[in-house]
Amino acid sequence: MYLFVYLVLGLLGLILGSYFNSWIWRVHEWRRVWNRRSICVHCEKQLVWYDNIPVISFAWLKGKCRHCHGSIPAHYLLVELATPLFFIAVAVHYFILPEFSAWQFFRDLFFSAFFIVVFMYDYLYFEILPPLMWMASAIAFGINYFFLQISLLSLLFGILIGGGFFLLQYLVSRGRWIGSGDIHLGILLGALLGWEEVLVALFIAYVVGALVGLGLLVTRKKKMQSELPFGTFLAVGGWVAMLWGSQIVAWYVGLIR
Ligand SMILES: [Zn+2]
């Protein structure tokens, strides 16, 4: 039974991951999202179906376009592999818990996909799409409040912390430290995680961001002033806090007692 669920989620992840790649690219290029077959990012030739099979086509074509031999960007493969792996990770996570909550399971599947898109979009284009954040915030709030009975106070306080934290930085620095997109993503994290776990997400994002920044400085790939896509780190923090936030909070509270 479990194996079957993993298989279905793995396949679904492969297909969706492939779709996310083209969605990310098309949205950025202001292409029509619907009703268009996938095309090569270099020569814009339409892909035949057998060149568009997730992962397999990438390996078969050795990461190059059949027509112009332009490289298929490596992040395509990353998204195609990450989506099924994250889906299966969510399933494993909830199947080992004593009580299974279908709403929480589906919420976390949805937001795993969401965080992958946010991660990639900000990494590639240094941009967080506000309308996407508003839609996701409404979904997160709705599921948490109506179906998971998470307290209104925790959610509102989470939104205040997540959004306020970035709004403050944005206002103080007049938009030099962070982009306005981080405010919208902060609000979403609050609505999804509540006030305790949004702190976990922020903390993880800063630790990961600092480590990556330091790594890039040491290897001299970036200068001190160069910008890092903070939404990418927030997506990592948000995903970890979504799945393990309550355990991390419990562990921390036990630590300071
Ligand atoms: Zn091509």
**Alpha helix positions (H), 96-129:** 102-125
Which residue in 233, 142, 141, 130 sits closest to 193, CA to CA? Answer: 141
CB 193 within 8 A of CB 245: yes
Is residue 69 domain-shared with residue 165, that is, in the same domain? no
- The residue assigned the tokens 């948490």 is 144
Is residue 87 domain-shared with residue 143, that is, in the same domain? no
Is residue 68 domain-shared with residue 175, that is, in the same domain? no
CB 185 within 8 A of CB 111: no
Distance, in Å, from the CA atom of 127 to the CA atom of 232, rounded to the nearest integer, reads: 10
pLDDT over threshold 80, residue 55: yes
Which residue in 100, 121, 140 sits closest to 5, CA to CA? Answer: 100
For residue 186, the enclosing domain spans 123-257
- Ligand 1 centroid to 65 CA: how many Å? 5
Can you say whether residue 61 is alpha, beta or left, with left for phi > 0 and alpha for psi between -120 and 50 degrees?
alpha
Please compute the mean of the pLDDT values over residues 134-163 and round it to a whole number.
Answer: 96
- Ligand 1 centroid to 66 CA: how many Å? 6
Q: How many residues does the chain have?
A: 257
Is residue 223 domain-shared with residue 150, that is, in the same domain? yes
- Ligand 1 centroid to 63 CA: how many Å? 11
DSSP state of 70: P
Please compute the mean of the pLDDT values over residues 19-42 and round it to a whole number.
Answer: 76
Is residue 80 domain-shared with residue 151, that is, in the same domain? no
Q: Is residue 109 part of a domain?
A: no
Q: Is residue 229 part of a domain?
A: yes
Q: Is residue 113 part of a domain?
A: no
Residue 224 pLDDT level (bands cut at 50, 70, 90): low
CB 121 within 8 A of CB 127: yes
Mean residue pLDDT of the chain comes to: 90
Is residue 139 domain-shared with residue 89, that is, in the same domain? no
Is residue 142 domain-shared with residue 237, that is, in the same domain? yes
Which residue, of 68, 100, 132, is where some domain finishes? 100
Q: Is residue 107 part of a domain?
A: no
- Ligand 1 centroid to 70 CA: how many Å? 5
Q: Is residue 4 part of a domain?
A: yes
Distance, in Å, from the CA atom of 65 to the CA atom of 51, rounded to the nearest integer, reads: 9
Q: Is residue 247 part of a domain?
A: yes
pLDDT over threshold 90, residue 108: yes
Is residue 137 domain-shared with residue 240, that is, in the same domain? yes
What tens digit of pLDDT does each residue of 150-176 get?
999 999 999 999 999 999 999 998 888
Is residue 253 domain-shared with residue 136, that is, in the same domain? yes
Q: Is residue 106 part of a domain?
A: no
- Ligand 1 centroid to 12 CA: how many Å? 26
Is residue 137 domain-shared with residue 249, that is, in the same domain? yes
**Residue 30 pLDDT:** 64
pTM, full prediction: 0.89
Q: Is 97 exposed, middle or buried (0-12, 13-18, 19+ CB in 10 A)?
A: exposed
Is residue 7 domain-shared with residue 67, that is, in the same domain? yes
Distance, in Å, from the CA atom of 255 to the CA atom of 185, rounded to the nearest integer, reads: 29
Q: How far is CA 94 from CA 2, 107, 251, in A?
A: 11, 12, 19
Is residue 130 domain-shared with residue 67, that is, in the same domain? no
Total domains present in the chain: 2
- Ligand 1 centroid to 141 CA: how many Å? 42
Residue 123 dihedral angles phi and psi, to the nearest 5°: -65, -45
Q: Is residue 134 part of a domain?
A: yes
- Ligand 1 centroid to 64 CA: how many Å? 8
